[in-house]
């Protein structure tokens, strides 16, 4: 029963946690490490990537599975393809010797054709103009598929009203149309990614230009202020300071003189008041 449920758990969008995590105990990890070092023949750096043949059954979960033979594997419900390092770019061949053999894989994340997935390609089978399939109008095909989808849905509604048991074939037709629409939309992904990258780069360029213009404006303002300060006559400032000092000293002397006169008048008034008091 567990073997029958395993494909569904691997292909589901949100799979359950795998059961083999229970095998990663400290003792088993230490045993696998010893076996890898023994098979590595003294190469400590490459010991982590050595595949151990005839591994005991209780340690099988501790060794990564081999690369898929057909270059296909499934992750979270999506199927991906890989190619060996021999198909990488020529500029990367110098790094090939530095990559362990078990890691010489490259993601080949290309969009598989409908024929490769075993699905009927409706635009290809319905075209009668003899043009190359790479140059057909995708927008026009989407409109055709949308109309065909509506027609098939109406036919399905009629079948369900008469004989629901015959609806399976029409449901398959609807599924095929939906997959074809989704496939055509996915063909726009490279163009969408390119346009998104262009928009991001243009936004970054505009933002950089705006910041540069603001910085240059502030630099011009600072330059004008410095030029204005440099054109001032310092002698006029010195004469003004001297005039201010003279005026300040004069005002202070006048204030002290007024204070002395006021004090003398107060003393004279006090003397006269004392004399008047003695006479009377």
Predicted pLDDT of residue 256 = 85
Contacts of 3 (CB under 8 A, 6+ apart): none
Higher pLDDT, 37 or 219: 219
Higher pLDDT, 157 or 7: 157
- Give the domain ranges of the chain: 1-62, 66-110, 122-187, 250-280
Q: What are 190-223's pLDDT values in tens digits?
A: 888 899 999 999 999 999 999 999 999 999 999 9
Residue 68 binned pLDDT confidence (cut-offs 50, 70, 90)? confident
Predicted pLDDT of residue 247 = 82
Q: Is the pLDDT of residue 59 over 70?
A: yes
SS3 state of residue 72: strand
Phi first, then psi: give them for residue 54, nearest 5 degrees.
Answer: 55, 45
| Sign, Cα dihedral of 199, 200, 205, 206 | positive
What is the Cα–Cα distance from 118 to 140, expressed in whole angstroms? Answer: 24
Mean pLDDT of the chain: 77
Lowest average pLDDT, out of 101-105, 138-142, 233-237, goes to 101-105
């Amino acid at each position: 029963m567990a073997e029958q449920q395993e494909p569904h758990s691997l292909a589901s969008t949100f799979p359950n946690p795998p059961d083999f995590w229970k095998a990663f105990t400290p003792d088993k990890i230490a045993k696998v490490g010893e076996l890898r070092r023994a098979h590595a023949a003294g190469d400590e750096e490459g010991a982590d990537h050595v595949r151990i043949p005839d591994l005991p059954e209780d340690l099988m979960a501790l060794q990564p599975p081999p690369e898929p033979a057909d270059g296909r594997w499934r992750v979270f419900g999506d199927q991906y393809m890989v190619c060996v390092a021999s198909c990488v770019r020529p500029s990367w061949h110098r790094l090939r010797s530095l990559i362990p053999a078990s890691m010489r894989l490259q993601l080949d994340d290309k969009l598989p054709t409908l024929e490769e997935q075993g699905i009927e390609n409706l635009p290809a089978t319905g075209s009668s103009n003899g043009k190359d399939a790479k140059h057909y109008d995708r927008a026009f095909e989407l409109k055709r598929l949308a109309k065909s989808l509506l027609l098939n849905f109406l036919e399905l509604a009629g079948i369900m009203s008469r004989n629901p048991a015959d609806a399976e074939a029409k449901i398959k037709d609807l599924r095929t149309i939906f997959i074809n629409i989704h496939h055509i939309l996915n063909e726009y992904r490279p163009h969408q990614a390119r346009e998104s990258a262009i928009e991001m780069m243009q936004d970054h360029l505009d933002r950089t230009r705006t910041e540069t213009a603001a910085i240059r404006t502030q630099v011009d303002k600072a330059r004008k202020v410095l030029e204005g300060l440099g054109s001032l006559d310092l002698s006029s400032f010195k004469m003004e300071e001297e005039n201010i000092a003279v005026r300040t000293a004069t005002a202070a002397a006048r204030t002290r003189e007024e204070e002395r006169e006021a004090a003398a008048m107060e003393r004279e008034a006090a003397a006269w008041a004392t004399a008047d008091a003695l006479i009377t």
